[in-house]
Amino acid sequence: MSFKQIVYQIHTRLQSIYPVEKRSKALAFAFVAIGVAMDNLNVAGSMATMYSTLEHFHSTTTTVSWVLSAYALTLGAFIMLGGKLTDILGPDVVFISSLFITGLFALICAGIENQIIVLIVFRALQGITASFTIPSGFAIAGNYFEAKSLGNALVVLMAAYTSVLGFGFVIGGAFSVSSIGYKGIYYLTFALSVLISMILYIIHVPIAKPQAHKDTKLKYLDFGGSALFVIGILLITLGLTEGGDSWKKPSAYIPLPVGVLVLVGAFVFELVIIQNRKDRVDSRADAKGQDSYLYKVHMLIPREMMFLPNFFPFVICTLLAFIYFIMMVSGLTQYHQYVEGDSPLITGVKILPLSIGLCLLAILNLETLFYRIGMKAVLIFSQVVAVFMLLWMSRQRYDSLHGYWVYELVPLFLFGAAINIYYSIYINAMLRRTPVHLQGVTSGFLQTIGQVGICIGNALTATVLGEIEIATTSDERERMQSKIDNIFYITLACSAAATITLFFISDQKSADGAPSDESVEEVQASCDSKELQV
């Protein structure tokens, strides 16, 4: 008996523990939502335990910052590839296996004692596998549910994915002041990730390939275009990360433009060269051409995705939303720790109203009301609220009496609620109108945009703040206060730009219906008829 046959027999026996006909999609999806949240729990917890990591390895702040940056670097670069693999291999297969491996990498990270470079390397590897859980998790929702149920599932996913940031700060802060230190967050994510993946392996409802992917094979993945895309995103993220420290370094100003050029090359290679080749073969009904590799290749960036309703306005607005969101969170975190002298745990507790606002709106699930008012109007309203809440929080001063209670507690909660409105509507409006066979790659692309926004936000925050230390005098606090003010000015500009962008979207009467000024048939026709040319 071959090794493959032995593995198959073991798999069959394990799957028979809980018969498929008795399995519940809702129960399986609940564990998927928790699994998706592991990414941001990891990120927030690592941010909160940064000082503990610094103390343990006796290294420099710049080197220790790469423990988080390496993870973010590979996470952002590989999400799109994870989305395409999701479409080819199946979302359940990709999610369960990648979550399990991510947990194992967390355990390895916890066991590293003296070599911080080794820790950084394994954090980068962990970022790769974690990136696959995001698009596959959203694709599972698209395969398990339809219509209103799908909308509810996507809201739950977005709530789990975003709201865990605040809880991650609290948990990471608690670990940082305990004897276990930074390792606690790795042990926790290891235990949760491995446990959830093992449970899902037994209870998940298997997902059959959609008709559009019946004949897809991994060997026909566009490896060239995928490599260009990954390298481009890696270089851009590296440039932004290094630029946060200093834009005068070659490691900052060289990777950024090179990465942009490589990324443009990836788009041209797929959307122009390969796509035009496919179009010519189809127009000539060339049977020989249909057997060629270039015709069969699965593009990382399918052209149909570009013609989804409101695709480009949502991409721009989402990029801006992630920039000002991460800048606001980072700015407040630095303010509490370096101006007010709070511990990571207290800082996490102070940021918690943001997560409560995100969760509460998800629980209320006001989709029917939102679409009764009008998707466009509600989206614009959510961004206007975000602008005013940022303006409110920017008024906080270190010498203000009860400053947190007056200038942060309420606006932070309302800001979280407003952001949840945007995220839940935009992800519903996009994915519920995306064919099942494109949901993995579309989700991956949108999440990649979000990760690029996070990198830009972190780079801008680091550039504005520069080298910082805990302020002990009034002059030091005043200088730090001025830097925090500058961060809020940038967040206000980004949120205002996002608000303006939303005026250009087409309104929708429901997440499942067509835009009011363009039918689904017209969108499909434009997708079929337009041919991109150099």
pLDDT on residue 398: 82
pLDDT on residue 526: 46
Each residue's pLDDT tens digit, 439-476: 777 877 888 888 888 878 877 887 888 777 778 888 88
Indicate if the pLDDT at residue 173 is higher than 70: yes
The CA distances from residue 467 to 75, 334, 459, in Å, are 26, 12, 13
Of the candidates 81, 208, 76, 189, the residue with the CA atom closest to the CA atom of residue 140: 208
The CA distances from residue 209 to 46, 89, 215, 326, 402, in Å, are 37, 8, 9, 36, 57
Domain layout of the chain by residue ranges: 24-203+300-525, 222-299
Which pTM was predicted? 0.81
pLDDT on residue 212: 56
Mean pLDDT score of the chain = 83
Render 133-183 in DSSP notation, one character per residue.
Answer: HHHHHHHHHHHH--HHHHHHHHHHHHHHHHHHHHHHHHHHHHHHTSSSTTH
- Residue 205: which H helix or E strand, with range? none
Which is more confidently placed, 24 or 463?
24
The CA distances from residue 429 to 197, 198, 234, 243, 357, in Å, are 29, 32, 29, 35, 21
The band of 407, judged by pLDDT with boundaries at 50, 70 and 90, is very high
The band of 247, judged by pLDDT with boundaries at 50, 70 and 90, is confident
CA distance 471 to 496: 31
Indicate if the pLDDT at residue 532 is higher than 50: no
CA distance 246 to 253: 9
DSSP 8-state code for residue 206: -
The band of 104, judged by pLDDT with boundaries at 50, 70 and 90, is very high
Side-chain half-sphere CA neighbours of 394 within 13 A: 20
Each residue's pLDDT tens digit, 268-308: 888 888 888 888 888 877 667 677 777 778 777 888 888 88
Indicate if the pLDDT at residue 533 is higher than 60: no
Which segment, 44-48, 89-93, 149-153, is predicted with the most confidence on average? 89-93
Q: Where are the alpha helices (DSSP H) in 90-146?
A: 91-111, 116-144
Which is more confidently placed, 193 or 513?
193
Contact 238, 77 (CB under 8 A): no
Indicate if the pLDDT at residue 324 is higher than 80: yes
Contact 329, 393 (CB under 8 A): no
pLDDT on residue 525: 47
Q: Does domain 24-203+300-525 have CATH number 1.20.1250.20?
A: yes
The CA distances from residue 15 to 23, 176, 226, 384, 459, in Å, are 11, 40, 33, 50, 46
Tell me the one-letter amino acid at 143.
Answer: N
pLDDT on residue 210: 63
Contact 205, 30 (CB under 8 A): no
Which residues in 193-319 belong to E strands, given as ranges?
Answer: none
Indicate if the pLDDT at residue 219 is higher than 80: no
Q: Is 156 exposed, middle or buried (0-12, 13-18, 19+ CB in 10 A)?
A: buried
Instruction: Tell which phi-psi region holds residue 342, choosing left (phi > 0), alpha (psi between -120 and 50) or beta.
Output: beta
Indicate if the pLDDT at residue 425 is higher than 60: yes
CA distance 477 to 371: 46
pLDDT on residue 400: 80
HEC string of 429-442 equals HHHCCCCHHHHHHH
When pLDDT is averaged across residues 77-95 and rounded to a whole number, the result is 86
Q: Which range, of 41-50, 84-93, 173-182, 212-221, averages the lowest pLDDT? A: 212-221
Q: Which range, of 250-259, 308-317, 320-329, 423-432, averages the lowest pLDDT? A: 423-432
Radius of gyration from C-alpha coordinates of the chain: 23
pLDDT on residue 29: 93
pLDDT on residue 286: 67
- Over pLDDT 90: what percentage of the chain? 28
pLDDT on residue 387: 96
Each residue's pLDDT tens digit, 177-202: 888 889 999 999 999 999 999 999 99
When pLDDT is averaged across residues 481-490 and rounded to a whole number, the result is 91
